[in-house]
A and B are shown apart, each in its own frame.
Chain A
Amino acid sequence: MNRRKRLLEDLDQDIRDHIDRETQDDIDRGMSPEEAHYAAMRKFGNVTRVKEDTREVWTFVWLEQLFDDIRFALRMLRKNPGFTAVAALTLALGIGANTAMFSVMQGAVFAPLPYVNPDRLVMVWENNPRFPRTWVSYPNLRDWQRSTRSFQQMAAFREQGADFAGPGTPEHLNRKEISSELFSTLGTKLTLGREFSPEEDRYGGTPVAIISTRLWRNRFDSSPEVLGRSLTLEGVDYTVVGVTAFGVTAFGFRLQDDADVYTPLGQIDPLILNDRAAHDGIYALARLAPRVTLAQAQAEISTIQNGLDHLYPDANRDLGIYVEPLKQFVVGDAGKMLLVLFAAVGLVLLIACANVANLLFARSAARAREYAVRSALGANRTRLVRQLLTESVLLSLLGAGLGLLVAIWGVRLVPAAAVSENLPRSENIAVNGPVLLFTLCASIAVGILFGLAPALKSWNSDPQASLKEGGRGSTAAHHRTQSILVIVQMALTLVLLVGAGLLFRTLRHLSDVNPGFDAQHIMTFKVGVSHSLTKTVPSTRTAYQQMIERIRQVPGVQGADFTGSVPLNGGWIMPFWIGSKKPASLQAAPRLVMFLTGPDYLRTMGIPLLRGRFFSPEDTTNSPCVMVIDSVLADIYFPGSDPLGQTLSAGFSPVGPCRIVGMVGHVKQWALNDSSTDIQSQVYFPLYQDPDQWVALNYPNMTIVVRTPLDVASVMPAIKSAVYGAGSDQPVYDVHSMREIVSDSMSSQRFPMILLGTFAGLALLLASVGIYGVISYSVAQRTHEMGIRIALGAEKRAILRLVLGQGLRLVLAGLAIGAVAALILTRLLSSFSHLLYGVGANDPLTFFAVALVLTGVAVFACYVPARRAMRVDPIVALRYE
């Protein structure tokens, strides 16, 4: 740097020396000193330019020019505050919406999982001819762990809530039962303490627990002396051996602090762990060994599973295995959905760009004279274009700055519009580093995009013509480009409106669907029953029966009973067969959804009884077992015959054969728009006939449904005191109204509808501003012509028609193109199986309605300048030239 400075400083001296020498030479040849000096100067050339050229050798010229351009651009933006404000706000909306959407994508889809080398983590599923993924059998998992070489480590976990009795007030906790390897497989270091040992991870091992940082804070004041303290879960005292900040959720949706407490999986009921045929809630997670590919691991584990299938044909027949990257499992289908929404918000940005490009066109027409003068004075064209692009990029950065505010605000709203299945890892979503980088790149790209066309236009303009025209520029050419931009805007807006419209209609149709039960006035909740009352099977049965009786006594409660699963919340799927002949392969057998319920469930839920009877309190373990089927099962498996009196068995560890005593209406169990691929056959089995060995596992998972005309808040205290009547260590949790459950079940349509609706609204706003701008500009340009028309006797209506006609032509062209594009793109929406319901992808009503809305808004936007045209005073207009 110094060297460069010195060289440049010496330059003056060098030049002087040079000229002196030349002068001396000439004097020696006989010239007079004065003559000689001028000759030397002539020969040397322009000293200033030589200095400048030399300086350029040593400097980053483009950088200096960039600073000049930026200074000039800032001056131009300041000089036109109106233009700058409109353009920056337009861009702020477009870039802000995109930034918000990118934050969502980044948090939910792109961001790596918070584990060590998360790309090497996989889920290992079993599968069968009916399901691509099922929970794994614990004995199979243990055998994999012993034989595999493709996996560095393999761990298991199971979600099983637990009633927590102390220290502190009773509470229902999210508990995970985990194998001893889980945390080391994830590569997660515990905040405090240690993992479970293999000795603790087996039946009869010491009860130990790892707690979350949340529980540590709330119940142990984050004390480092927590290790060795005890906590009571499900009536058992566990010793705390560790504290962790991270975990893994069964459905992967929340990854941080998701479980409150972890206990060893090996200590749970041997009914689940020892039965190879049981697939009961256990997930397998593994880390691939170094340099082993997914395909290799899949091949090896499949071979191992084949071997097991031969060894244990009864339990394992038709069982396969499927290895899936953890990230893919966690993100699920949401990734594809979010990508579509991201594309939609991209269209909004394009519309915003078109608006700003149009503004720039209008301005470049006004500035044509400036460009002409500058290029006549010798500014080269590259330099002119570069300077215009600097202006537009600066404008878009300004928009991006404002857009970030929009994004920060929007990012807070997005997760609120979704439930976890639609938006995995929503806790990750924030405007962070990668998002800012995206915004920066996007805004520079956008600045070039919308600046390029007007800049190139000025490249091609002929300075002579511009100067002659007195600054009016080549208006015809400008008009054509502007019109094309408006048509594109209209087309894109139509596409977005159609998408939002289809989803809106879908939601309308869904809320008209009959769910198969009466959703009004029902609430559901879960209850833990004191462990002093559930030491034996008979006392457990009595305790639950007494509790539901107490709840039925609460004033305002019209009915109450237990159920194993609540409609629209997924269900308990199991294989079944009719008659006494058990099929050879249970894995390949047909499936049904099992409802384990009390006798008053049907009446409480308002499900219609179609034939025979429902359960009575007399159907107990002391009487022959009975089942009730739904109309779908009856239609499929008893076509033309009477199901009543026939027998049915169900489950991998089957109950039955039980006599079918009744038939009830079908209930929407999966979603209001159940697809035919979901299991539809339903069977009800009396809770009071649940075999003794399953009582300890099944009873604590019961949900209570209550019919009451009162609202949740007013009836809940009475219900709680009825529940607490039997002891104080019983939490009441998961309280929901059935209406809420129905509404949540529509969220996979509502979430994209809200987003797409917002984007479509933005698009409509921007596009109408766009057409308004272009028509206004054209009216202003044609003031002279309008004046002549009026002077020659044109009626005001004719002028109005002229201007509106011009706008309408653009709108109609846009509609035609947009309709074709929408027809193609809505197929994309319908490719998501659950997204559209009750409307086709090319629903004519939707297309017609949104086209009408768009036309109406656009015509109104043209009407404002049209009225201005109508009021042109011919005298003023003519004098204007």
Chain B
Amino acid sequence: MSTKEHIDRIELLQGTLDLLILRTLLLGPAHGHAIAKAIEFNSDDVLQVEQGSLYPALHRLIKRKWISVEAGTSENNRRAKFYRLTPKGRKQLALETGKWDKLTGAIARILRPRREEGRP
């Protein structure tokens, strides 16, 4: 059972959660619960975020001024805090996404090298 869980769910690399939050907020402001849901949903439940760990990450991003926070009302008229991507955060997201692509590309090449040209 425990082994299976290991295979199914991938623990997030450090800093990756930040990236995912930024990416989620690119679509528009959202409150904490919505962000968690969006990450789970979009990753087909493969990325299992312990929902609590979202909050330290959100505060880290606020401190770095990559996101801002504002009060608002949610879909069912409940008071909620909305997190919004700042221009600085947008820039950071572009930067991090670029880095991420490079990293994953490099790792993929190592793990699954393409055959060299001219060889069968």
Contacts and interface: CB of A to CB of B under 8 A. Distances in A.
- Chain B associates with chain A: yes
Interface of A: 7, 10-11, 14-15, 17-18, 21-22, 25, 43-47, 49-50, 53-54, 56-58
Contact of A45 (B37, B50, B59): B50
18 contacts: A7-B59, A7-B62, A7-B69, A11-B55, A15-B52, A15-B55, A17-B32, A17-B80, A18-B51, A21-B33, A22-B51, A44-B50, A45-B50, A47-B52, A50-B53, A54-B56, A58-B59, A58-B63
B63 A57 contact: yes
A685 B63 CA distance: 90
B56 A14 contact: no
A44 B51 CA distance: 4
A25 B56 CA distance: 23
Contacts of B78: 17
A50 B56 contact: yes
A56 B32 contact: no
A3 to B, nearest CB: 9
B114 to A, nearest CB: 41
Nearest to A40: B51
Given A18-B32, A44-B50, A47-B52, A54 B59 contact: yes
B60 interface: yes
A1 to B, nearest CB: 13
A47 to B, nearest CB: 7
B69 A56 contact: no
B23 interface: no
A44 B52 contact: yes
B51 A14 contact: no
A53 B69 CA distance: 19
Given A17-B32, A43-B50, 5 more contacts: A14-B81, A17-B31, A17-B33, A22-B51, A54-B56
Shortest Cβ-Cβ A-B pairs, 6 listed: A45-B52, A50-B52, A53-B56, A45-B50, A21-B33, A57-B59
Contacts of B31: 17
Contacts of A57: 56, 59-60, 63
Nearest to B78: A17
Nearest to B37: A25
B-side binding surface: helix, strand, loop or mixed?
A: helix
A45 B56 contact: no
A55 B67 CA distance: 18
A45 B51 contact: yes
B33 to A, nearest CB: 4
Contacts of B51: 18, 22, 43-45
Given A7-B62, A57-B63, A58-B63, A14 B32 contact: yes
Contact of A56 (B33, B53, B56, B81): B56
Interface of B: 31-33, 36-37, 50-53, 55-56, 59-60, 62-63, 69, 78, 80-81
Nearest to A51: B55
B67 to A, nearest CB: 12
A43 B52 CA distance: 8
A53 B53 contact: yes
A21 B59 CA distance: 20
Contacts of A54: 55-56, 59
Nearest to A53: B56
A513 B56 CA distance: 83
A785 to B, nearest CB: 51
B69 to A, nearest CB: 7
A580 B100 CA distance: 99
A228 B53 CA distance: 86
Nearest to B64: A57
Contact of B55 (A21, A22, A25, A50): A50
A17 B78 CA distance: 9
A466 B47 CA distance: 42
A52 to B, nearest CB: 9
Nearest to B61: A57
Contacts of A22: 33, 51
A10 B81 CA distance: 9
Contacts of A18: 32-33, 36, 51
B85 to A, nearest CB: 18
A294 B52 CA distance: 69
Contacts of B33: 17-18, 21-22
Given A10-B81, A21-B33, A58-B63, A46 B55 contact: no
A53 B37 CA distance: 21
Given A22-B33, A57-B60, A57-B63, A14 B52 contact: no
A44 B50 CA distance: 6
A573 B18 CA distance: 85
B77 to A, nearest CB: 13
A2 to B, nearest CB: 14
A872 B33 CA distance: 73
Contacts of A15: 52, 55
A44 B69 CA distance: 21
B5 to A, nearest CB: 14
A22 B52 CA distance: 12
A875 B77 CA distance: 84
Contacts of A49: 52
B68 to A, nearest CB: 11
B95 to A, nearest CB: 21
A752 to B, nearest CB: 59
A15 B36 CA distance: 12
Contacts of B37: 25
Contacts of A45: 50-53
User: Which interface residue of B32, B33, B36, B78 has the most chain A CB atoms within 10 A?
Assistant: B33
Contacts of B36: 18
A10 B62 CA distance: 14
Contacts of A10: 81
B52 A46 contact: yes
B55 to A, nearest CB: 5
A58 B59 CA distance: 8
Contacts of B50: 43-45
A22 B32 CA distance: 11
A14 to B, nearest CB: 6
B73 to A, nearest CB: 12
B103 to A, nearest CB: 25
A43 B36 CA distance: 11
Contacts of A44: 50-52
Contacts of A43: 50-51
Contacts of B80: 17
A7 B55 CA distance: 11
Contacts of B62: 7
A63 to B, nearest CB: 16
Contacts of B53: 45, 50, 53
Tell which of B32, B36, B56, B69 has the most Cβ of chain A within 10 Å: B56
Candidate in B37, B59, B81 with the most chain A CB atoms within 10 angstroms: B59
A312 B56 CA distance: 88
A293 to B, nearest CB: 49
Nearest to B81: A14
A45 to B, nearest CB: 4
A44 to B, nearest CB: 5
A287 B80 CA distance: 74
A293 B22 CA distance: 59
A266 B109 CA distance: 91
A387 B22 CA distance: 38
A17 to B, nearest CB: 6
A46 B50 CA distance: 9
A25 B37 CA distance: 11
Contacts of A46: 52
B55 A14 contact: yes
A18 B60 CA distance: 18
Contacts of A21: 33
A44 B60 CA distance: 18
Contacts of B56: 50, 53-54, 56-57
A272 B62 CA distance: 82
B53 to A, nearest CB: 7
A58 B64 CA distance: 11
A520 B12 CA distance: 93
A408 B31 CA distance: 64
